[in-house]
Amino acid sequence: MELVSSLFQGKLNILVNNAGTSILKSSLELTAEDYKNLMAINLESAFHLSQLSHPLLKASGAGRIVFISSVGGFLAFPLSTLYGPTKGAINQLTRNLALEWATDNIRVNSVAPGPIITPLLKAYFEAAGDNPISSVSFGIPMGRAGQPVEVATVTAFLCMAAASYITGQIIVADGGIMMGRSL
């Protein structure tokens, strides 16, 4: 944050907390080290970066934080026993920081993607021994997995002045999977 502060004259307009991973194991195979690592990457890093960036976001006069969550924070998925709780915690962190920091003119929101074609999703399907990712519709009403750009555009919108009255929200971008699924 010292480097960011020096590069941007003590101000930061936008922080996107996008670090995240998963450990694709059954709950009985997970170790204390797995738990520690997943919590550190998916939750603690986002909290601490947000906390450290607060003075710079406040100084900007209109700071925005966007967390990248997941529908896994709402729904259970095989081999995701620890991933889901980290994303559920991000959703709650979003609401708490939005409430606490609204008076500092900092808006805090999350984007919760459904299945997006990324290396992590490809690894999930390989670990599960399922069909190649390109041939799976995931039981999504739109019949396909999303593309990274489809998450990026929602994230960008939440950073724009057009979203100036939106805070504390988890925006789901999932092709309709939250309406009902057959995974």
> What's the whole-number mean pLDDT along residues 56-83?
95
What amino acid positions are annotated as catalytic residues? 83
Instruction: Reply yes or no on whether the pLDDT at 136 is more than 60.
Output: no
Residues 6+ apart with CB under 8 A from 76: 84
> Which of 142 and 12 is assigned the larger pLDDT?
12
Mean pLDDT across the stretch 130-159? 81
Please determine, for residue 91, whether its predicted confidence score (pLDDT) is greater than 70.
yes
When the pLDDT of each residue in the chain is averaged and rounded to a whole number, the result is 91
pLDDT the model gives residue 135: 45
Q: What contacts 103, CB < 8 A, 6 or more positions away?
A: none
- Per the structure block, which two tokens stand in for 140? 């999504």
75's tokens: 């729904």
Cα-based angle 120, 122, 126 (whole degrees, multiple of 5): 115
Mean local confidence (pLDDT), 66-88: 94
CA separation for the pair 155, 173 (Å, rounded): 10
CATH number at 1-177:
3.40.50.720
Give the integer Cα–Cα distance in Å for 58 and 21: 29
- Residue 128's pLDDT is 63
In whole angstroms, how large is the CA radius of gyration of the chain? 17
Question: Does residue 131 surpass a pLDDT of 60?
Answer: no
User: Of 1-5, 61-65, 129-133, 140-144, where does the model show the most confidence?
Assistant: 61-65
Q: Where are the chain's structural domains? A: 1-177
pLDDT at 132 over 70: no
One-letter identity of residue 82: L
- What share of the chain has pLDDT > 90, as a percent? 77
User: Could you tell me if 104 and 50 are in contact, meaning their C-beta atoms sit under 8 angstroms apart?
Assistant: no
CA–chain centroid gap for 106, Å, is 18
What global pTM score does this model have?
0.91
